[in-house]
C-alpha cells in the first residue's frame, strides 16, 4: 500500500487555495454505476469557484479510503471539482472498509478496461453534479499506472493525466506496462516520481519518456531526489518542499489543459 490508513494529503500552498467550501460540506459519498452495471463507491467534492478541468482521482491499491476523500476536497479548494473512486465494487461490494481490508486479493482481479469504465461513470457524475465539461485523471501508485494507461487508450473525455509514482512496469500478465504503451499516448502527461523509490528505477522513467517523445504529446516527468515512494503525504515533513512543488506542477498542468 502507499499511505497509512490515517494519512492525509499535503495542504495546498496558501496562495493556491480558494476560500473553503461554504458550510464546510466537504466531499459527498456516492454510489455510482459503471457501464456493466457494477455499483461502486466514490466521493465527490464541489468547488466554491469551479474552473476546468474537473478531476477524477484514481487511488492506490487500497481503493477509496480517507486520504483520497480528503484529496478530492483539496482539489475542490483549488477550484477543480473532484471525485475519487473505488476499484472494488465488483469483488468487495459497497460500504466502508477498515484498515484490515485485504486489498491484495481484490487488486489482483482488477482490469484496466473496467477501471476506465468506472472512471467514465465518475466523469459522468462530475458532468451532472458539477456542470463540468473538461476532465483530467490524477492517479497514485496503482492509480498512477492506470492514469498513464488511460492516456494511451480510448478515453475521449480526458484532456490529460497526472501520475504520482505510478509503476511503469507491470508484473501481472493481465495488466499492461505503461512504458510499453507510451508511444500510443494520445493526451498530455505529467509524471511525478521519487528518486529513492526502488520500485520505479530511473531506467523505467527514461524508457517511458522516450515513448512519450515518440508519441509527440506534451509531457513532463519529474523525479524528486531522495524522495521515497508515496512522498506526497503530510507526515513526510522532510519532503514538504517536494510536496509543495508537486502541488504547483499539478495545478499548473491542469490549468494548461484545454477547457
**Beta carbons within 8 Å of 197's beta carbon, 6+ residues apart:** 165, 227, 228, 229
pLDDT in tens, 134-182: 999 999 999 999 999 999 998 889 999 999 999 999 877 788 999 999 9
Phi, psi of 70 (to 5 degrees): -65, -35
Q: Who contacts 61 (Cβ-Cβ below 8 Å, separation ≥6)? A: 1, 2, 103, 104, 107, 141, 142
pLDDT at 117: 97
3-state class (DSSP) for residue 68: helix
> What CATH superfamily classification does 22-255 receive?
Alpha/Beta hydrolase fold, catalytic domain (3.40.50.1820)
What is the reported pLDDT for 25? Answer: 47
Give the pLDDT confidence score for residue 101 in this predicted structure. Answer: 86
Strand partners, 164: 140, 192
Each domain of the chain, given as residue ranges in start order, spans 22-255
Q: What percent of the chain has pLDDT over 70?
A: 94
| Distance of alpha carbon 42 from alpha carbon 44, whole angstroms | 7
**Which residue has 512522498 as its cell numbers?**
231
pLDDT number for residue 99? 80
Distance from the Cα of residue 195 to its chain's centroid: 20
Task: Return d(Cα 152, Cα 158) in angstroms, integer.
Answer: 11
Q: Which pLDDT does position 24 carry in this prediction?
A: 39
According to the model, what pLDDT value does residue 20 have?
52
**pLDDT confidence of residue 135:** 98
Whether the CB-CB separation of 42 and 124 falls below 8 Å is answered with no
Please compute, for residue 246, the number of CA atoms within 13 A of its CA located in the half-sphere on the CB side. Answer: 29
Residue 136, sorted as left (phi over 0), alpha (psi -120 to 50) or beta, turns out to be beta
Low-confidence stretches of the chain (pLDDT < 70) are 1, 3-6, 17-25
Would you state the pLDDT for residue 18? 54
Amino acid at each position: 500500500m502507499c499511505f497509512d490508513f490515517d494519512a492525509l494529503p499535503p495542504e495546498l500552498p496558501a496562495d493556491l487555495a480558494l476560500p473553503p467550501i461554504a458550510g464546510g460540506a466537504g466531499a459527498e459519498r456516492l454510489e455510482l454505476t459503471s457501464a456493466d452495471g457494477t455499483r461502486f463507491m466514490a466521493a465527490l467534492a464541489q468547488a466554491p469557484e469551479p474552473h476546468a478541468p474537473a478531476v477524477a482521482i484514481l487511488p492506490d491499491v487500497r481503493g477509496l479510503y480517507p486520504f483520497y476523500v480528503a484529496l478530492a476536497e483539496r482539489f475542490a479548494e483549488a477550484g477543480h471539482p473532484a471525485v475519487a473512486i473505488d476499484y472494488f465494487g465488483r469483488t468487495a461490494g459497497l460500504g466502508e472498509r477498515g484498515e484490515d481490508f485485504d486489498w491484495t486479493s481484490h487488486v489482483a482481479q482488477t482490469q484496466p478496461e473496467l477501471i476506465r469504465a468506472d472512471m467514465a461513470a465518475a466523469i459522468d457524475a462530475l458532468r451532472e453534479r458539477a456542470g463540468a465539461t473538461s476532465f483530467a485523471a490524477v492517479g497514485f501508485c496503482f492509480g498512477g499506472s492506470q492514469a498513464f494507461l488511460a492516456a494511451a487508450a480510448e478515453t475521449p473525455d480526458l484532456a490529460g493525466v497526472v501520475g504520482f509514482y505510478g509503476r511503469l512496469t507491470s508484473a501481472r500478465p493481465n495488466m499492461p506496462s505503461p512504458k510499453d504503451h507510451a508511444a500510443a499516448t494520445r493526451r498530455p502527461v505529467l509524471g511525478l516520481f521519487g528518486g529513492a523509490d526502488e520500485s520505479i528505477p530511473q531506467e523505467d522513467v527514461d524508457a517511458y519518456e522516450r515513448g512519450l517523445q515518440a508519441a509527440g504529446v506534451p509531457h513532463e516527468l519529474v523525479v524528486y531526489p531522495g524522495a521515497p515512494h508515496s512522498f506526497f503525504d503530510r507526515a513526510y515533513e522532510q519532503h514538504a518542499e517536494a510536496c509543495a512543488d508537486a502541488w504547483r506542477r499539478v495545478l499548473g498542468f491542469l490549468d494548461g489543459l484545454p477547457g
